[in-house]
Structure 1
Amino acid sequence: MSLLTLSHISAFYGPSQALFDVDLALDEGEVLALLGRNGMGKSTTIKVICRLLRHRGGAVMFDGQDMARLPSYRAARAGIGLVPEGRRCFTNLTVEENLIAAARPGEWDLARVAGLFPRLQERRVQSAGSLSGGEQQMLAIGRALMTNPRLLILDEATEGLAPVVRQEIWAAIARLKSETGMALIVVDKSLGELGRIADRAVVLEKGVSVWSGAYAALSPALTDRYLGV
């Protein structure tokens, strides 16, 4: 049984329909790349998974549980962690306070996060607002890991970062794949970097799942058609 399944999902913002027919399946320990041009429904799909937006049609199942009526905090308790686009750290809190704000018991604690991102340990008493953009992204990932999720979703985790920091983030994601049994959904424009970690991909176009399969099967023709500028 899949850890996460979305079947024929439709979703709206008020009267405007954003998702029309999204299908997605993710197994334990699998890395899924969620792909598509800007505005095609990737972030909306993530909001549906995290229960930040209710779907109107179809079904969302996580670990055998129907998520339709769950609020977002219940989705987090069920084991879904989100690293949102734009980081959204609590800028007035220290690094350590950010990390423990939503912590739940489990393998991921302050020491393990510091092992993944040593810079956070060095800056643990600094306010999050004083960190660089890359350090804030590390903090956002660490904060999500402190909830001890079974599924971690990273929405544009390397967007707008310097190349050297982007490589640090990708290295951390690769470690999560190799050293944990955590499932990952990754949204990113770096197809080459995704190719090093992703097992499968789902491509969205205008709120519809138009392609699904092994990441290695993504051909140049497919990427040109659905992902090219």
Structure 2
Amino acid sequence: MSLETTSEGQPAVPVLECRGLTAGYGTVTVVRALDLSLQPGRVLAVLGPNGAGKTTLMTTLAGMLPRLSGEVLVDGKPIPSARPGAANKAGLVLVADDRALFTGLTVRENIQIAQRSGGPDLDAVMEMFPALKKRLKVPAGAVSGGEQQMLAVARALVQRPKVLLIDEMSMGLAPVIVEELLPIVRRIADDTGAVVVLVEQHVQLALEVADDALVIVHGDVRLQGSAADLAAHPEHLQAAYLGETVAAV
């Protein structure tokens, strides 16, 4: 992942940094010694087979699980372990794989309840999700799966994320819907400067919108590099998914 510099030539402070992050449950280690450094506007695709540790990584970054060891920093400031409120206040916002919507509230109410002072207003968010504009008065439980995913991301955006964590955007959705949704991830990063960490099973689609990618297998990073390079070498991806160690491309 590229090292950017400031106008004075000094290394820029990463928006998101992980130093030796180890995550798991009690004495069970699931993710081992992960190092990350992501500059503003970067999209990182986190890939890997089921059970690799991707969701554990996301919930640990969001402060919902205690870290077993290592550090997480946002804008160079350490984030305390297992304190989701502190993580959210620092700018780490999670879109969980179950979307966690208030299904009895309307689309508008779901967004308004998450609105943070200084964040984008409803009209600004609707420009990114025009399909939701006609559904504002409909209960969240009554809209389609694709619209629910849009709503989950919209609700995250009004919280002014510095780091947007999206866990399995495509969960339960038809591939054609995924093709419509994933480019929005690219637009979010480009328009807001937020770092986006995207866990996704649709590998090629994820690589098309990402800048960087890594493959986790059994908690270890098997492959890491630019998304374009990984997309150009599917044989390396296949080997990584099979658990073989592959040199970074």
Decide: shared fold, TM above 0.5: yes
CA contact (8 A) 1:54 1:68 kept: no
Query: 2:235 aligned to 212, 221, 225, which one?
Result: 221
SS in 2 for 1:152: strand
The letter of the residue matching 2:189 is K
Residues 154-165 of structure 1 aligned to structure 2 (within 5 Å): 154-165=166-177
TM-score (norm 1): 0.93
Residues 1:89 and 2:101 are matched in the alignment? yes
Q: Given the superposition, is the C-alpha separation of residues 168 and 217 from structure 1 closer, same or farther in structure 2, using an over 3 Å criterion?
A: closer
Q: Distance in 1 between matches of 2:167 and 2:119?
A: 23
Q: Which has the higher contact order (CA 8 A, sep 6+)?
A: 1
Q: Distance in 1 between matches of 2:96 and 2:59?
A: 10
Q: Equivalent residue for 2:35?
A: 23
TM-score (norm 2): 0.86
Q: Distance in 1 between matches of 2:20 and 2:114?
A: 32
Q: Distance in 2 between matches of 1:40 and 1:93?
A: 34
The letter of the residue matching 1:47 is T
* 1:156 CA displacement: 0.8
Residues 1:4 and 2:11 are matched in the alignment? no
Q: Distance in 1 between matches of 2:197 and 2:34?
A: 15
Residues 1-229 of structure 1 aligned to structure 2 (within 5 Å): 1-69=13-81, 71-218=83-230, 219-227=233-241
The letter of the residue matching 1:97 is E
CA contact (8 A) 1:31 1:197 kept: yes
Deviations 1:89-143 (A, max 9, x none): 1111111110011211235221011111122221111111111111111110100
Q: Which sits farther off after the overlay, 55-64 or 65-74?
A: 65-74
The letter of the residue matching 1:222 is H
Identity over aligned pairs, percent: 36
Q: Distance in 1 between matches of 2:55 and 2:94?
A: 11
The letter of the residue matching 1:221 is E
Q: Equivalent residue for 2:8?
A: none
Q: Distance in 2 between matches of 1:162 and 1:141?
A: 18
Runs of at least 5 residues in structure 1 that lack an aligned partner in the other structure: none
Runs of at least 5 residues in structure 2 that lack an aligned partner in the other structure: 1-12, 244-249
SS in 1 for 2:126: helix
Q: Distance in 2 between matches of 1:159 and 1:227?
A: 20
